[in-house]
Amino acid sequence: MTVTLIGIAGGSGSGKTRLARELKDALGPERVTLVPFDAYYKDLRHLSLEERNEVNFDHPDSLDADLLGFQLDGLAAGLDVAIPVYNFADHRREDDLLILPATEIVIAEGILLFAFPELAERFDFRIFRQCDEPTRFARRLKRDVKERGRDESSVRRQFAESVAPMHDQFVEPSCSGVDRLVTQDEDLDTVVRELAESILSLSV
């Protein structure tokens, strides 16, 4: 089986996860495996919760790029992989693992996916989702309060102290050299159709 690796990066709240999911649907869910880089945050259970709360989760050092690279290689070789399950409320990995099946198309998505050259070079097609800061913040605030049990003040503080600075330092520069830059004013349905055609042409 020939496997095509697709990477989607972009700032927190840029819409990259939605793009990945809609692209999977357009390509055919049975032929696509989604790999979230968010699952690869390093396990911090050895730290107290107070210490975990002080970690900069928007810096590349917070992520296990080596494990993701190893498992992308496994998927590219046609092997199922067992990825971590990350608990965002407690900032630690769960004991359980999630089995991802080997499929002909693998889509990995994450904020800092292209900030690691050794990861970026693995992809056959790289997409960057660009979005302005006010929109990204509004989406992040809604998600973190609703889905991750955060209070609004802590989300605002984290965005100002680490999310925005790390975006400027690591995320935005990583869009250089991508195959497709998707801006927020583009019609998403049209973008998905175009991307699906481009990706399918790679696997012919």
pLDDT of the chain along its 204 residues, tens only? Answer: 899 999 999 999 999 999 999 999 999 999 999 999 999 999 888 888 888 878 899 999 999 999 999 999 999 999 999 999 998 878 889 999 999 999 999 999 999 999 999 999 999 999 999 999 999 999 988 888 887 778 888 889 889 999 999 999 999 999 999 999 999 999 999 999 999 999 999 866
* 164: its two tokens: 């925005």
Q: What is the largest CA-CA distance in the chain?
A: 51
Strand partners, 6: 107, 125
Contacts 24+ apart (CB under 8 A), 44-47: 44/91, 44/92, 45/92, 45/93
Distance (Å, whole) CA 40 – CA 69: 11
Q: What share of the chain is helix, strand, coil (3-state, %, to 5)?
A: 50, 20, 30
- The pLDDT score that the predictor gives to residue 154 is 84
> By residue range, what is the domain housing residue 21?
4-202
- Total domains in the fold of the chain: 1
- The pLDDT score that the predictor gives to residue 55 is 87
Q: Look up the CATH number of the domain holding residue 9.
A: 3.40.50.300
Q: How far is CA 54 from CA 23, 57, 87, 95, 166, in A?
A: 35, 9, 16, 23, 15
Backbone torsion region of residue 78, taken as left when φ is above 0, otherwise alpha when ψ lies between -120 and 50, otherwise beta? left
- The pLDDT score that the predictor gives to residue 16 is 95
- The pLDDT score that the predictor gives to residue 166 is 95
Distance (Å, whole) CA 46 – CA 57: 16
- The pLDDT score that the predictor gives to residue 92 is 86
- The pLDDT score that the predictor gives to residue 204 is 61
Distance (Å, whole) CA 169 – CA 55: 17
